[in-house]
Amino acid sequence: FKNAENSKSLLSDLLKNHTVLSESISNHLVTAQTWMEELNALIGQIEQIERHLWYLKWISQIEELSDFEDVLKQLHWPFIGPPQSQTLTLLPAANAAELQNNLEALFTQLLKLQTSDELITKQKQLPEKYDIPPSLPIALPIQLMLLPLQMRFKYHFSGNRQTNVLNKPEWYLTQVLMWIVNHSKFLEEKIQPIIDKAGSFLDARLEFSRGLVMLVLEKMSDDIPRLLYDDSLFCHMVDEALLFEKELHSAHGYPSNLPGCMHILSEETCFQKWLTVERKFALEKMDSVLSSEAAWTSQYKDITDVDEMKAPDCAETFMTLLLVITDRYKSLPTAARKLRFLELQKELIDDFRIRLTQVMKEETRSPLGSRYCAILNAVNYIAAMLGDWADKVFFLQLQQASLDVCAERDTITELQLGQLASLESSVFDDMIDLLERLRHDMLARQVEYIFREVKDKAKPYKKERWLFLPSQSDQAVMCLSNSACPMLLTLRDRLLQLEQQLCYSLFKSFWQTLSEKLDLFIYQDIILANHFNEGGSTQLQFDMTRNLFPLFAHYCKRPENYFKQIKEACIVLNLNMGSALLLREMLQTPSNSDTVSNSKLPSATAALNEIGVFKLAPRDVEILLNLRTNWPNTGK
Please give the full DSSP string across 23-61, using - where no structure is assigned: HHHHHHHHHHHHHHHHHHHHHHHHHHHHHHHHHHHHHHH
Indicate the domain borders of the chain: 1-75, 94-118+125-263, 270-426, 457-589+602-627
Find, among 426, 350, 351, 331, the residue nearest to 388 by Cα. Answer: 426
Q: Distance of CA 500 to CAs 282, 555, 610, Å?
A: 32, 13, 41
pLDDT exceeds cutoff 50 at 116: no
Provide the b/e sequence for 314-345 (b: ≥16 CB within 10 Å): bbbbbbebbeebbebbeebbebebbbbbbebb
pLDDT exceeds cutoff 50 at 141: yes
> For residues 622 and 617, what is the distance between their CA atoms, to the nearest angstrom?
9
Determine how many CB atoms are found less than 10 A away from the CB of residue 279: 15
Under a CB-based contact definition with an 8 Å cutoff, are residues 534 and 471 in contact?
yes
pLDDT exceeds cutoff 60 at 506: yes
Determine how many CB atoms are found less than 10 A away from the CB of residue 72: 19
Q: What burial class does residue 149 get, using C-beta atoms within 10 Å of its C-beta: 0-12 exposed, 13-18 middle, 19+ buried? A: buried
Helix (H, G, I), strand (E, B) or coil at 267: coil
Structural element, H or E, at residue 596: helix 594-610
Structural element, H or E, at residue 242: helix 231-252
> For residues 482 and 539, what is the distance between their CA atoms, to the nearest angstrom?
11
> For residues 423 and 390, what is the distance between their CA atoms, to the nearest angstrom?
10
User: Residues 6 or more apart from 353 whose CB is under 8 A from it?
Assistant: 379, 382, 431, 434, 435, 438
Q: What's the pLDDT tens digit per position in 321-348?
A: 999 999 999 999 999 999 999 999 999 9
pLDDT for the residue 33:
86
Q: What burial class does residue 304 get, using C-beta atoms within 10 Å of its C-beta: 0-12 exposed, 13-18 middle, 19+ buried? A: exposed
Calculate what percentage of the chain has a pLDDT beyond 70: 87
Confidence grade of residue 37 (pLDDT, cut at 50, 70, 90): confident
> For residues 533 and 627, what is the distance between their CA atoms, to the nearest angstrom?
9
pLDDT for the residue 82:
65
> For residues 472 and 515, what is the distance between their CA atoms, to the nearest angstrom?
28
Find, among 222, 265, 264, the residue nearest to 124 by Cα. Answer: 222
End-to-end Cα spacing for the chain: 143
> For residues 189 and 157, what is the distance between their CA atoms, to the nearest angstrom?
30
Q: What's the pLDDT tens digit per position in 195-221?
A: 999 888 899 999 999 999 999 999 999
CATH fold for the domain made of 457-589+602-627: Methane Monooxygenase Hydroxylase; Chain G, domain 1 (1.20.58)
Helix (H, G, I), strand (E, B) or coil at 614: coil
- DSSP secondary structure letter of residue 484: G
> For residues 231 and 166, what is the distance between their CA atoms, to the nearest angstrom?
12
Calculate what percentage of the chain has a pLDDT beyond 90: 63
**Sign of CA pseudo-dihedral 400, 405, 410, 416:** negative
Structure-derived torsion over alpha carbons of residues 164, 169, 171, 173, reported in degrees to the nearest 10: 120
Q: What's the pLDDT tens digit per position in 383-437?
A: 999 999 998 999 999 988 888 877 776 656 666 666 555 566 789 999 999 999 9
**Sign of CA pseudo-dihedral 356, 322, 173, 265:** positive
Q: What's the pLDDT tens digit per position in 416-427?
A: 666 555 566 789
Q: Distance of CA 459 to CAs 224, 494, 599, Å?
A: 74, 18, 42
pLDDT for the residue 266:
93
pLDDT for the residue 106:
86
Q: Distance of CA 349 to CAs 29, 318, 336, 385, 446, Å?
A: 87, 9, 20, 12, 24
The whole-chain average pLDDT of the chain stands at: 87
Angle separating helix axes 594-610 and 577-587, nearest 10 degrees: 160
Give DSSP secondary structure letters for 303-348: -TTT-SS---HHHHHHHHHHHHHHHHHTT-S-HHHHHHHHHHHHHH
Under a CB-based contact definition with an 8 Å cutoff, are residues 563 and 519 in contact?
yes
The predicted model gives 506-525 an average pLDDT of 96
pLDDT for the residue 148:
92
User: Residues 6 or more apart from 178 whose CB is under 8 A from it?
Assistant: none
pLDDT for the residue 410:
64
Find, among 152, 127, 296, 302, the residue nearest to 215 by Cα. Answer: 152
Q: What is the largest CA-CA distance in the chain?
A: 156
Under a CB-based contact definition with an 8 Å cutoff, are residues 330 and 394 in contact?
yes
> For residues 618 and 627, what is the distance between their CA atoms, to the nearest angstrom?
15
